Amino acid sequence: MNIDHVATVRQARRTIEPDPVWAAVEAQLGGADLITMHLREDRRHVQDHDVERVKSMCQVRLNLEMAATDEMVQIASRIQPHMVTLVPEGRLEITTEGGLDVAGQLAMTRDVASRIKDAGITASAFIDADEQQVNAAAEAGFSVCEIHTGPYASKRFETGGPLGSANFQKELHRVTECGKHVLGAGMRFNAGHALNYVNVGPIAALPGVSELHIGHSIVSRAVFVGIRLAVDQMKNLMVRFAGQ
């Protein structure tokens, strides 16, 4: 579970609640296998002390999303999350709008991935469903690729019957084929972004997918049912579809 938007609510009032650490506890009690936090350069939601406190109490793995900067590499090396996922950042974007351009920044991303691995941390790249980016991620030395499912999710509600529109099926095919390419390159296949209780099934059912990183949808449902139950409901969906 990505707990960023719990911090978003807190930062709206610059107060102490809701506490992302409490959210991480509840998420684990609901069955989350990994906690994700994105420490942005502008600190718009998660703060440095949030990552430090979650790392100190987390009983499952911690994934730190961050930009490929010297500052963030130094923070990750000090805090020691289990995994670092490099993501692009735009100061005016509401949320991450696309995958990291590893192919266009190969030398830089190779250097950052190497520094992350030298610190004893698993290096992951958040990329679009593009085989060129997968090839570049493998060349740069990443151990994991998280495939961006935003384009897939955006097509879910187009008219097209219960299985979605032709464009939805096209985007699902892109993620599927890209996942195969990730696995074929010897990397772990993760996926995430804009997944929710309606569209998660086909992604959870993909062969070889290891982790789905989901935040906004779970936090949104948690407003009404609580984090523990919201995580439990999502986990049950994922397990059910993965077993088909």
Q: pLDDT 10s digit of each residue in the chain, 244 long? A: 999 999 999 999 999 999 999 999 999 999 999 999 999 999 999 999 999 999 999 999 999 999 999 999 999 999 999 999 999 986 655 556 689 999 999 999 999 999 999 999 999 999 999 999 999 999 999 999 999 999 999 887 776 666 678 888 999 999 999 999 999 999 999 999 999 999 999 999 999 999 999 999 999 999 999 999 999 999 999 999 998 6
Alpha helices, DSSP H, located in the chain: 4-11, 20-29, 48-57, 70-79, 106-118, 131-140, 150-154, 166-184, 200-204, 216-225, 227-242
pLDDT value, residue 134: 98
Which residues have C-beta within 8 Å of that of residue 66, sequence separation ≥ 6? Answer: 38, 39, 72, 75, 76, 84, 85, 86, 87
The token pair that represents 211 in the structure block: 């982790």
The token pair that represents 167 in the structure block: 């464009």
Task: Give the Cβ contact number of residue 180 at 10 Å.
Answer: 16
pLDDT value, residue 167: 86
Residue positions annotated with a catalytic role: 38, 65, 193
pLDDT value, residue 162: 63
Q: What is the pTM of this model?
A: 0.94
User: b/e for 125-138, b at 16 or more Cβ within 10 A?
Assistant: bbbbbbeebbebbb
Q: What is the CATH number of domain 4-242?
A: 3.20.20.70
3-state class (DSSP) for residue 234 = helix
pLDDT value, residue 95: 59
